Amino acid sequence: MDGEQERILALRTLLTRLFEEYHVLDAPSVSDAEYDALMRELVALEARHPEMGDEHSPSRRVGARAAGKFQPVQHDPPLLSLQNAMDADDLREFDRRVRKDAGGAEVAYVVEPKIDGLTVVLRYEDGELRQGATRGDGSVGEDVTQNVRVIASVPRRLRGAHPGAFEVRGEIYMPRPAFEALNAARAAAGEAPFANPRNAAAGSLRQMDPGVTAGRALELFCYEVRRGGVPGTQSDALALLAQAGLPVNPIRRHCASIDEVIAETERFAALRDELPYATDGLVVKLEDLQLAQSLGATQKAPRSAIAYKFPAEEAATELLGIEVQVGRTGALTPTAILRPVRLAGTTVQRASLHNEDLIAQRDIRIGDTVRVRKAGEIIPEVIGVIADDEHYLRPAYEFPSVCPICGGEAVRREGEAARRCVNTACPAQLREWLIHIGGRGALDVDGLGPRTVDLLLAHGLVQQPEDLFRLREEDLAQLPRFGEKSAAKLAAGLAAARTRPPARILFALGVPHVGERAAELLVERFGSLPAIGQAGQEELSDVPGVGPVIAQSVYRFFHGAVGERLLGSLAQLGFVLGGEAPRGHLDGPLAGEVVVFTGTLSVPRQEAQQRSRALGARVESDITRRTTLVVAGEAAGSKLARADSLGIRVLSEAEFGALMATERERN
């Protein structure tokens, strides 16, 4: 048995369970879009493997069996489901088939919202409501008459004369405000929330106590006359339902061609979030009901109608593998390699897994069926696993402890979510760093894109970021597919980069956690990159908008070999790294003092630090050879001993207070 045949069996098992959760238990564990995607995958695989045919496959079902707590109701004729159209091409193909079966004539359609609710059939006798039933598996549903009777929008008696049987089909749904209020109440009571409005509507309609149903604010839209009327068109059918006092959706559109249908799908997609109910698409129906009747149906669906589904915001697919990428700061980022799946209008094959904690917390394993969504409609991400019987037989994923590119050690520092390659010569880090340097917001080097960076690295012209700015035009002109114009353009861009503002230079250095705004705040506070490099960690964290995480990252960078080397190199290469520090920082009465506080003080330490900075001192949290003064409060420990060993001047809090007072008087 090959991989696709094994996938067919796995999908059948999985979809059978999901089918029961959705239709019988009213407790779906996946979204409609995810379920539809899995079903489409199964149908496609079964088409490629006819030898795997099985009449019990989920792909051949219409609805679900009744849950057993209500009396069965036989549907005659059966209630069919609809085929799905995922894009305009699918709609055009549907139109082509309809027109072909209709003898080539042009046809018109009616487009209605596809409500995310529960299908019901209402039977009236001589105008009186006699029965309400769910769809069930299409042939047999459940008698929910007593619950239907308590829904305010379901008329007990029809308007006008309706002798004999009058049977209609509609959708019971829960409006968004009612759904949100219900879930809030369930959360307050410690109960599990409903997954979606459809789930809430189904659970509310299938209550053994009609009083519970009555309190759930359910609504009804009707859209089909099954018995007791002979409308010629779908528009006539909707008018007949409305005349009888049955609620019909006012949002519908007559379309003279499939082009108008497609335009309507685009218009409606922009409005769907403003509606008071949930909808995942539109239903496209042939206007001529006599023609629709003559076209007949397949085993599952009528040939005269189709459901257009909006691009999925979530989808389900198989996790084929996990690829770990290395970024410019050395962070190891896992990426999911997926079986291709349609998501929000695009085909997705890769998705973010964020970090190793997410993989462990959600127990994501290669071979699992995973849930994927678009984050901000841009970046696909894996949000969970749809567990199957094979999940725990698959090995748990082990995140690498070495860099997959250079083999260097990958270390995870305390308080950080990412594991990082500590090899500063890692080629993957250098590549991403060079691309970052050339990007907008950083040094904006015209002509320095990924392809150019790859060329420079492949020919050994750059080993460190600062090597970029030592390149000569004649060096660049020798690169393959790099003529004189390209060389001159890049050389000019590299020259212009030397004059960028200091904040953009700082951002270009690629310090972990330092974005464009943090770089601006740091330069505003300290005036220059050398001043930032000399600042203590606590001094950095006191900058509004910076905080301890960024401060620690900046401190580590500028006190490491790479940061120190870069500052020196950039200065030699003519970069403008900033002017003098803001007044009050370096020219106060304590200018030149590098102060460390230790022990318990009589005032909050932050207050003492701020007073010191106001007089021009630099304040650091750790004692280094640059430290000039240690202020020791009560119970001072190891820092005091280190200061003594280095011969650094130590003052008590009182002595330091007197020193500050004296310096104020002098100035």
**Calculated CA dihedral for residues 236, 240, 246, 249, nearest 10 degrees:** 20
- Inter-residue contact 295 to 101 (CB < 8 Å): yes
Per-residue confidence (pLDDT) for residue 100, from 0 to 100: 92
CA distance linking residue 391 with residue 405, whole number of Å: 30
Taking domain 72-309, whether its CATH number is 3.30.470.30 is answered by yes
- Inter-residue contact 261 to 279 (CB < 8 Å): no
H helical segments located in 59-126: 88-101
Contacts of 454 (CB under 8 A, 6+ apart): 431
**Which of these, 659, 465, 641, lies nearest to 567 by C-alpha position?**
465
- Inter-residue contact 620 to 537 (CB < 8 Å): yes
Tell me the CB-side half-sphere exposure of residue 164, using CA atoms within 13 A. 3
Q: HEC string of 353-392?
A: CCCHHHHHHCCCCCCCEEEEEEECCCEEEEEEEECCCCHH
Tokens of 411: 């270390």
Angle between helices 450-458 and 427-438 (to 10 degrees): 140
Per-residue confidence (pLDDT) for residue 583, from 0 to 100: 38
- In whole angstroms, how far apart are CA 610 and each of 549, 602, 619, 620, 653? 20, 15, 9, 12, 15
Per-residue confidence (pLDDT) for residue 195, from 0 to 100: 67
Q: Spell out, as residue ranges, where the chain has pLDDT lower than 70.
A: 1, 19-33, 55-56, 60-69, 190, 192, 195, 312-313, 344-346, 374-379, 579-588, 606, 610, 663-667
Domain ranges of the chain: 3-60, 72-309, 314-393, 424-497, 583-667
Tokens of 643: 């200061």
Per-residue confidence (pLDDT) for residue 581, from 0 to 100: 44
Per-residue confidence (pLDDT) for residue 582, from 0 to 100: 44
Residue 39: in which H helix or E strand, if any? helix 32-48
* Beta strand ranges found along 608-648 (DSSP E): 618-620, 629-632
Q: Which amino acid is at 441?
A: G
Q: How far is CA 570 from the centre of its chain?
A: 39
Under CATH, which number does the domain 583-667 receive? 3.40.50.10190
- Residue 253, exposed/middle/buried by CB under 10 A (0-12, 13-18, 19+)? middle
* Beta strand ranges found along 257-345 (DSSP E): 279-286, 305-309, 314-326, 332-343
Name the CATH architecture for the domain at 3-60.
Answer: Orthogonal Bundle (1.10)
Per-residue confidence (pLDDT) for residue 529, from 0 to 100: 92
User: pLDDT tens-digit profile of 539-572?
Assistant: 888 887 788 889 998 999 999 888 889 988 998 8
CA distance linking residue 369 with residue 189, whole number of Å: 33
- In whole angstroms, how far apart are CA 458 and each of 206, 427, 451, 485? 67, 11, 10, 21
Beta bridge partners of 326: 332
CA distance linking residue 400 with residue 403, whole number of Å: 7
User: pLDDT tens-digit profile of 343-360?
Assistant: 765 688 998 888 888 898
**Which of these, 498, 492, 494, lies nearest to 575 by C-alpha position?**
498
H helical segments located in 138-257: 145-149, 176-188, 197-205, 210-214, 234-243
Residue 547: in which H helix or E strand, if any? helix 547-558
- Inter-residue contact 166 to 124 (CB < 8 Å): yes
Does residue 634 sit in helix, strand or coil? strand
The reported pTM is 0.47
Contacts of 446 (CB under 8 A, 6+ apart): 489, 490, 492, 493, 496
Per-residue confidence (pLDDT) for residue 111, from 0 to 100: 96
Tokens of 485: 């114009």
Contacts of 263 (CB under 8 A, 6+ apart): none
- CA 374, 375, 377, 381 dihedral sign is negative
Tokens of 129: 């409501």
Q: Give domain 424-497's CATH number out of 1.20.930.40, 1.10.3720.10, 1.10.150.20, 3.20.20.70.
A: 1.10.150.20
- In whole angstroms, how far apart are CA 481 and each of 117, 245, 536? 60, 74, 48
- Inter-residue contact 457 to 430 (CB < 8 Å): yes
Q: How far is CA 99 from the centre of its chain?
A: 41
CA distance linking residue 225 with residue 162, whole number of Å: 13
Contacts of 343 (CB under 8 A, 6+ apart): 311, 312, 313, 314, 315, 372, 373, 374, 380
For the CA atoms of the chain, what is the radius of gyration?
A: 35
Place of tokens 């079966």: 101
Name the CATH architecture for the domain at 314-393.
Answer: Beta Barrel (2.40)
Show which residues are catalytic. Answer: 114
Residue 505: in which H helix or E strand, if any? helix 502-508
CA distance linking residue 55 with residue 58, whole number of Å: 9
